[in-house]
Amino acid sequence: MHKKNNKKIKIDKFKTYLKMIKNSVGSRVFRNLYIIEEEKSKDILKDGKLSCAVFVSGILFLNNLIDKPHATVTGVIKTLQKIGWTKTEARKIPHGAIIVWGKNSVSKSNHRHIGFYIGAKKAVSNNSLNGFPVMHNLEKDERKIESIWIKKDFFK
């Protein structure tokens, strides 16, 4: 908590979190993650094609909601479970909830996908075709919602 003109002020963490998600649309910040393998640098996110977990965990990390970013959906989910995030039912999804979609049955993609719910049946997640976060319908590319995650003491 800070003081400004002798008034106590505090950061509205939830509103900041939601705005950060919405403002990330079109951002190329989460597009690349390099590792060194056999003395060669390699972008394991393939210039944004595989960036959904880095995007979600990066936003969570920047808002002090997880301890470190992850490059895989499984890594994000394991951390969420470990630190007290819980699955919720799809009846009423709170804004900012984390959505995990299953594998794409049409394109036969063997990857799960992760993003954020922002209300009005809309979500923000990384688009593998253009390599950056986009806003889209909650029902995504023939993918079914696998799970919805919230942190009960954080969501309103």
pLDDT tens track for 36-81: 999 999 999 999 899 999 999 999 999 999 999 999 999 999 999 9
Coil, helix or strand for 129? Answer: coil
Q: Out of 3.30.230.10, 3.90.1720.10, 3.20.20.70, 3.30.1360.120, which CATH number does the structure's domain 11-150 have?
A: 3.90.1720.10
Q: Above 70 in pLDDT, residue 156?
A: no
The pLDDT score that the predictor gives to residue 106 is 58
Cα–Cα distance between 135 and 126 in angstroms, integer? 9
Above 70 in pLDDT, residue 105? no
Query: 127: which 2 tokens?
Result: 């688009």
Rounded to whole angstroms, how far apart are CA atoms 77 and 27? 23
**pLDDT value of position 33:** 92
pLDDT beyond 70 at 27:
yes
With tokens 């977990």, the residue in question is 53
DSSP classification of residue 68? S
Q: What 8-state DSSP symbol labels residue 143?
A: B
- pTM of structure: 0.89
For residue 113, list its beta bridge partners: 101
Cα 22 from Cα 20, distance rounded (Å):
6
How large is the average pLDDT for residues 109-117? 88
Inform me whether the pLDDT recorded for 85 exceeds 70. yes
Q: Tokens at residue 15, please?
A: 């509103």
Domain segments of the chain as ranges = 11-150
Residue 89's pLDDT is 82
